């Protein structure tokens, strides 16, 4: 995947919507980036393309937000506050992967070993000029 330079949160959301147009049940997206990089804006655009009525928020404190009103469910995880992969498994991680929806994980690089084969890894970086760059990356090692 070629890198994308994004000028605004709206551009990040539009790119998320582009990814949604190509995704289907069973897709898993791993988002990597610092605080404020744009992971949630990307997800807002993605979910809006599938369920325009959804009010997408960051799941930082809830750890998981579910959006079931569209053509297929979207499960939006945030691993930032988790201490171990065992906490994620206790939340029903495997069941969500088996539900035939789309899984989006912010801070996925904290627990790369738990991400299934076929996960699409995306990194979002701040640029010196204030833009963001989104690019595909290889699965990080544990």
Residue 9 forms part of a structural domain: no
Q: How many CB atoms within 10 Å of residue 119?
A: 17
Is 128 within a domain?
Answer: no
Percent of the chain with pLDDT over 70: 98
Domain housing 63: 52-95
Q: Report the number of distinct structural domains present in the chain.
A: 1
**Within a domain: 80:** yes
Alpha-carbon distances, residue 43 vs 5, 31, 33, 78, 102 (angstroms)? 17, 9, 13, 11, 11
Q: Which two tokens stand for residue 102?
A: 């789309």
What average pLDDT does this structure show over 108-129? 94
Residue 32 lies in a domain: no
Q: What is the pLDDT of residues 53-95, one digit of tens each?
A: 888 887 677 789 999 988 899 999 999 989 999 999 999 999 9
Instruction: Tell me, yes or no, whether 62 lies in a domain.
Output: yes
| Residue 60 located in a structural domain | yes
Using a cut of 0.85, tell me whether the model's pTM lies above it. Answer: yes
Position 56 in a domain: yes
Q: What are phi and psi of 117, to 5 degrees?
A: -55, 145
Residue 88, in any domain of the structure: yes
| Whole-number pLDDT of residue 142 | 66
């Amino acid at each position: 995947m070629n890198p994308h330079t994004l000028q605004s949160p709206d551009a990040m959301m539009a790119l998320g919507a582009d990814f949604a147009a190509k995704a289907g049940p069973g897709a898993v997206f791993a988002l990597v980036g610092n605080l404020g990089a744009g992971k949630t804006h990307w997800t807002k655009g993605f979910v809006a393309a599938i369920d325009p009525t959804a009010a997408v928020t960051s799941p930082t404190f809830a750890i998981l937000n579910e959006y079931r009103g569209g053509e297929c469910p979207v499960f939006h995880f945030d691993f930032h506050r988790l201490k171990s992969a065992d906490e994620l498994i206790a939340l029903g991680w495997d069941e969500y992967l088996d539900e035939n929806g789309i899984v989006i994980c912010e801070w996925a690089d904290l627990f790369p070993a738990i991400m299934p084969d076929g996960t699409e890894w995306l990194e979002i970086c701040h640029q010196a000029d204030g833009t963001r760059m989104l690019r595909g990356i290889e699965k990080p090692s544990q």
